[in-house]
Structure 1
Amino acid sequence: MKMRPFLLLFLTILYSAPAFAIGSDGPAFWTARRAIEFAKENNPDSQLAVQRMLQADAMVQKAGVGFYPRLELFGNYSQTNNPMYSFGNILNQGEFSPDIDFNDPGRTDNLGLGIGVTYRFYNGGRDLAQKKAAKAGVDLSSAESDAIILRLEFEVFQAFQRVIETGKVIQARQKALEAITSSLDVAQSRFAAGDFLKSDLLNLQVEQSQATENLVQARHDLEMAKRVFLTLLGLPGDDLNIEVEEAESPVLPSDLDPVKRPELQKLTAALQAAESRLQAARGSRLPTVDGFARYSYDQGTVLGGEGGSWMAGVNLNFKLFDGHQADAEIAMVEAELGVLRAEQKKLKLALDLEVSQAELALDLARQRLQVTEQMVAQAVESESLTRARFDAGVLLVSELIDSENRLTDSRVRHALASSAVQVAVANLRRAAGFPQYSQDFHQTNTMENQP
């Protein structure tokens, strides 16, 4: 079973890492790795996954009940003048005499104490099948938990990159505002000297207002990105300090076969559980054999007698006709198996497509990054030449504005492309069934080598 290592991982992190304890405000600076580890403890989805696994483990314990005998104690006290019951009390207490009146043995009482044990020797294999189904349920719950963690890790990394990305966009917008403000200062000086048109000055002022608006929008986007990020971490508030470490970026997985995907493992476990339930349904056609043993002690105060007795034996039960209940249950489980097999085939095709799409997205993001790097270099050089000509008074304002806009646009595009590459790598790891910073879900401190 995969469940116990998974729980040990969660409980170890939960109780031994005070920096990430539930209810704390988190570390002073966030990295992608720290954020993911924190979210795995504090996000409600991950906590819910642990509880579901505990529930599945309890189902295994419940399914194993049939393999143990049942032991019970019993006791009662009664008085009666009913001839049949009084005669029974007389016999149990050892007070029988030849002169007893069977029609009216008189009033008697009895304190009965005892212990009994029962055990089912055979029930058509249903107990074993149900236990196998419960164990498959643990694997299914573990796969569900892994799927939650896989998605959560990607969403946290994506949200982290969104915060970084919007921060870079703010820098680009800030530089654009500073540049247009500098150009406006030059234009105002030239206008005061009578060497600049009023319409051109107004155009620069409008451009400054637009740059200010873009900066305000970028700051708003950053605040929204922070809130999304904190929500995934399971934290309130919006006070964030982001520390970027290049070594923290996920690396490409060595194997792109989605066979490791938890969704596929979940269906495999569901198939195993259904096959076990089919065995249990078929076992309902077979007989059951139960053994029992019982010891009783009886004592009376009216007659003053006492005595002990025991009984042991075996019960055999076999249903000759159950109204086709077993046939209906078998047909229902067989149909469920057919549905699961069809879903498994469909899921394999969907996961293969998802990996292919993630590969194409990564290839596109890398190409965009290369193009935008060249775009920024070209735009910086072009803007420098354009500004020099504008300061010299040999360039139209519209050309300066176009040059500034191209530089800002190239910087924003480069920031988006850089973030897109990181997100695409993370998405490819998710599509291939790998956590962001380990080889599997039960290994948290080992990084893969960059291929």
Structure 2
Amino acid sequence: MNIKTYIVFSFVFFGFIATAQDVLTTDEAMKLALEHNYGIKIATNTVEVADNNQGILNSGYLPTLTGNAGASIDVQNSDGELANGETRVADGAETRRYNASINLNYTLFDGMGRLYNYKRLKEEYLLSELEARQTIETTMVQLFSIYYTIAQLSENSDVLEETLIISKDRLRRSGYQFDYGQNTKLDVLNAEVDINNDSISVINIKQQLKNTKRDLNVVLGNKKSEEFRVETELNFLLELNKETLLEKMKANNVSLLQAESNINISEYDIKTSKAQFLPTVGLVGSYGWNESTNNSPLAFTLQNTNTGVSAGLNLTWNLFDGGGTITRVKNTKLFLENQKLQKEQLIIDIERNFNNAWDNYQNKLLIFQVQEDNIKTAQNNFDRTEEKFKLGQVTSIEFRQAQLNLLNAELSRNQAKYDAKLAELDVLQISGELLNVQF
């Protein structure tokens, strides 16, 4: 199969596929990722673990209740002398003992350590939610980055196919002109070379498009076939206000919220450590049953049964543990101080990143607008050159140059278009608004 036949077949094949493909919208892509992305699923399970840990069953506030039971049999041979001088022998005398009890232990006071640990578990749950949100935001950025790459490749593919059509028309005209002696064989050969180059570009971009769709499918949890198209119409959030986003960033940026949560956890750790300086008061109680039987003729009691309830309080006070608790409190305070310093540093870094992202977004929008204007100039130049080429007033080389200028302008416009959208996503992520806007 020669290159021309292959291209014709490719146009027919891909044209058929394009009509059969479903359009994957950004909303649908987000929904599929949230439901099926494996990273998000793992993060969700981690949140459930933290939710279980913060429950009353893991708080230490409930008592412990244990049950014990036992049984034993003793077989002994014994002999004994009674008061009247009579001697008795007991061979194989059995003694059976049975017991059962229920024991209750409950901590009444532990220096408030239990309370602070419970609050710490609550804060760890909030931290796990923030970590899950960070995973979702990262996945969404990855999703949109691949999605818009597909959109850009799709538009570039259309541009390259249109370029190939123009090149084929040029070859046909060059062939006619050569047949009528209006140009040389060199013009025909140049047109064939350009067709081959354009054909290779089309083949390469089709393969890139397939590969990128597979990349997107991985993010979606392998829930889409490769036969789909994406939306290429973009809406920019031009009403974004820098000062408003900056304030939202300070309140909603996930990294800052995580830093604040870690500070809260460290404060609870300090209080929990200090609680070890205080005594622990506990309540104990039990209900027991004991029974023993003895078939020995020497035994005074053949069966004995006891039942009873007992209760009491105990106090434990670690008066001095070698200084371990003091050391832990000091180290935890220093760790808390470091976390506060890290948060201050993080605020500076994030503000810088936000300002950089905002300026980058504005520049990308400006470049996109310039490229839109450049398209008009390149299209006008190409149309004029094409008219002159048909009239034989310009050479095929000049026509090809105008064609390449238009192609490059369209490819640059597409690049600028999606660069601007990705820059917008960067601004939204840093400001903490990525999951709060409609794409």
Alpha carbons of structure 1 residues 110 and 127: separation in structure 2 relative to 1, 3 Å: same
CA-to-aligned-CA distance 1:238-266 (integer Å, 9 cap, x gap): 52323538587767656312121122111
- Matching residue of 2:190: 203
Q: Secondary structure at the residue paired with 1:239? A: coil
* 1:233-291 per-position Cα deviation (integer Å, ceiling 9, x unaligned): 11166523235385877676563121211221111111111111111111112211111
Aligned residue in 1 for 2:151: 164
Q: Is residue 137 of structure 2 the alignment partner of residue 137 of structure 1?
A: no
1:342 corresponds in structure 2 to 341
**CA distance in structure 1 between the aligned counterparts of 2:430 and 2:376, rounded to whole angstroms:** 34
For the residues of structure 1 that align with 2:238 and 2:368, how far apart are their CA atoms? 17
Query: In structure 2, what is the equivalent of residue 98 of structure 1?
Result: none
Structure 1 residues 165 and 247, CA, compared in 2 at 3 Å: closer, same or farther? closer
Contact 2:357 2:423 in 1 (8 A): yes
2:43 aligned with 1:49, yes or no?
yes
Gap regions ≥5 residues in structure 2: 1-20, 77-92, 295-301
Q: Distance in 2 between matches of 1:332 and 1:417?
A: 52
**C-alpha RMSD over aligned residues:** 2.4
Q: Give the length in aligned residue pairs.
A: 391
Q: Is the deviation greater in 133-142 or in 282-291?
A: 282-291
The worse-fitting range, judged by mean Cα deviation, of 49-58 and 346-355 is 346-355
SS of the residue aligned with 1:301? Answer: strand
Pair member with larger Rg: 2
State the Cα distance separating 1:63 from its structure 2 match.
7.3
Aligned residue type for 2:168: T
Q: Deviations over 1:116-157 (max 9, x none)?
A: 211111111111111111111001100001111112122212
Residues in 1 aligned to 2:145 and 2:409: alpha-carbon distance in whole angstroms: 22
Alignment of 1:29-428 (within 5 A): 29-61=23-55, 64-79=58-73, 108-235=95-222, 238-242=225-229, 244=231, 253=240, 255-257=244-246, 258-259=249-250, 260-302=252-294, 303-428=302-427
TM-score (structure 1 length as normaliser): 0.81
Superposition deviation, residue 28 in structure 1? 4.7
Q: 1:290 to 1:339 in 2, by over 3 A?
A: same
Does structure 2 retain, via aligned residues, the 8 Å contact 1:253–1:434? no
Tell me, yes or no, if the aligned pair for 2:23 and 2:231 is still in contact at 8 Å.
Answer: no
Amino acid at match of 2:128: S
SS at match of 1:300: strand
Q: Within 2, Cα distance between the matches of 1:65 and 1:380?
A: 71
Output the TM-score relative to the length of structure 2: 0.83
Distance 2:169 2:220 in 1: 41
1:411 and 1:246 map into 2 onto residues whose CA distance is: 15
1:256–1:355 CA contact under 8 A, matched in 2: no
**Over residues 176-197 of structure 1, what are the superposed CA-to-partner deviations in whole Å (9 max), with x where a residue is unaligned?**
1111221121112112222213
Indicate conservation of the 8 Å contact 1:140/1:267, yes or no.
no
- The 2-side partners of 1:374 and 1:253 are apart by 24
Q: Which runs of 4+ in 1 moved over 4 A?
A: 79-82, 245-254
Which string of whole-angstrom CA distances, capped at 9 and with x for unpartnered residues, describes residues 294-316 of structure 1? Answer: 22121122221212223221111
SS state at 2:99 partner: strand
- Point out the structure with the larger strand share: 2
Sequence identity, in percent?
18
In structure 1, runs of 5+ residues without a counterpart are 1-26, 83-105, 440-446
1:144 and 1:252 map into 2 onto residues whose CA distance is 29
Letter in 1 for 2:256: L
